[in-house]
């Protein structure tokens, strides 16, 4: 794994910024223009102001290291908005902002762990709100529903996909801070897998293939432990990551995670494909909406290419 700060499945997953809409502006290539992806507007003024500050999270950065100022201001507003008992978007946006703070502002290990633990908690609060809304509609046994069935019940909720996506990210970062083996023993891997499958069931295009990206990275990074994570599969990792690239081949993380999974396979043709993918990430132009994230991914891609060349 190239950098703990970029991980966010159980042990390595990543952030994208705003949720992608199905009808996106496109470039001349026909691919979505990631610089023009709209943010959904909240009905709550605190959340709307938090959104404005979240969009400024790259201000004051030094390369891929973000300043804590704008993101801390966004977190404070989202946090205040969560005082409303049933406001789902305040919670998933708080989790998203906490992820950015923990991953990109250079916190020490203990501080990151505290940030991700809070992100995990507010994510579960958001999921609890969604669950209660289903119960009020007469849907029983929600906790026993398979991810695909749960996704079908939530398909009319625009806040469902981001809630489950950022919950997966939050659990993944928390698990990383705990350590792979210990986290697996808590059932974190199963939870993240189910959350990713729920996102895929609701909207496979959400976060530029985010559900597939989480699922693929999880299968690539999670330890295989009998009776705990016996479902972990390299084949599933490659399959899911290729689907993420199919959804959006411009996304830096989709290509970067697929490259790392391919290179670990050891086959010469897979290594060659991995090198080409990382070279494409390095050569591409970062998105203004994902500037810190994309610059960090490019740094990791350069490190991989240097290491792979040295090891060849």
Whole-number percent of the chain with pLDDT over 90: 70
| Rounded CA separation 216/259 (Å) | 12
Structure tokens at 277: 């993918």
pLDDT confidence of 142, banded at 50, 70, 90?
A: confident
pLDDT-derived band at 24 (thresholds 50, 70, 90) equals very low
3-state secondary structure string across 56-102: CCCCCCECCECCHHHHHHHHHHHHHHCCCCCCHHHHHHHHHHHHHHH
CB 109 within 8 A of CB 180: no
Q: String of b and e for 231-248 (b: at least 16 CB within 10 Å)?
A: ebeeebbbebbbbbbebb
**pLDDT per position as a tens digit, 32-83:** 444 434 446 788 999 999 999 999 999 999 999 999 999 999 999 999 999 9
Domains of the chain are 4-311 (1.25.40.920)
pLDDT of residue 184: 67
State mean pLDDT over 299-304: 98
Q: Is the pLDDT of residue 223 over 90?
A: no
Examine the pLDDT at 183 and tell me if it is beyond 70.
no
Which of the given ranges, 25-29, 225-229, 245-249, 262-266, has the highest pLDDT on average?
245-249
pLDDT at residue 26 in the model: 35
Q: For residue 39, count other CB atoms closer than 10 A to its CB.
A: 16
With tokens 């946006």, the residue in question is: 93
Q: What is the mean pLDDT of residues 93-108?
A: 97
Q: Which of 278, 216, 206, 260 is closest to 16 using CA atoms?
A: 206
Cα 61 to Cα 106: distance, rounded to the nearest angstrom? 11
Is 70 exceeded by the pLDDT of residue 214? yes
pLDDT interval class at 89 (50, 70, 90): very high
To the nearest whole number, what is the mean pLDDT of the chain?
Answer: 86
pLDDT at 180: 65
Q: Comparing 232 with 143, which gets the higher pLDDT?
A: 232
* Model pLDDT, residue 128: 96
């Amino acid at each position: 794994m190239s950098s703990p700060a970029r991980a966010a499945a159980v042990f390595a997953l990543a952030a994208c910024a705003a949720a992608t809409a199905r009808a996106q502006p496109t470039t001349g290539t026909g691919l979505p223009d990631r610089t023009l992806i709209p943010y959904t507007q909240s009905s709550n003024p605190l959340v709307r102001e938090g959104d404005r500050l979240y969009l400024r999270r790259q201000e004051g950065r030094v390369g891929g290291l973000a300043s804590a100022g704008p993101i801390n201001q966004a977190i404070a507003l989202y946090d205040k908005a969560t005082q409303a008992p049933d406001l789902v978007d305040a919670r998933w946006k708080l989790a998203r902002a906490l992820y950015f703070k923990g991953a990109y502002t250079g916190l020490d290990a203990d501080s990151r762990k505290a940030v991700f633990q809070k992100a995990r908690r507010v994510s579960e609060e958001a999921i609890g709100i969604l669950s209660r809304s289903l119960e009020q509609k007469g849907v029983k046994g929600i906790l026993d529903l398979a991810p695909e069935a749960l996704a079908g019940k939530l398909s009319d909720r625009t806040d469902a996909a981001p809630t489950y996506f950022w919950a997966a990210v939050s659990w993944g970062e928390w698990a990383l801070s705990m350590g792979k083996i210990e986290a697996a023993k808590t059932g974190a891997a199963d939870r993240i897998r189910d959350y990713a499958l729920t996102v895929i069931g609701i909207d496979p295009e959400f976060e530029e293939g985010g559900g597939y990206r989480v699922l693929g990275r999880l299968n690539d990074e999670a330890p295989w432990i009998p009776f705990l994570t016996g479902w972990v599969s390299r084949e599933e990792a490659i399959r899911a990551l290729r689907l993420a690239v199919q959804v959006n081949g411009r996304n830096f993380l989709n290509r970067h995670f697929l490259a790392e999974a391919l290179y670990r396979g050891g086959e010469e043709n897979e290594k060659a494909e991995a090198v080409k993918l990382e070279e494409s990430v390095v050569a591409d132009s970062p998105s203004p909406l994902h500037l810190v994230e994309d610059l960090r991914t490019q740094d990791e891609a350069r490190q991989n290419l240097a290491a792979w060349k040295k090891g060849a």
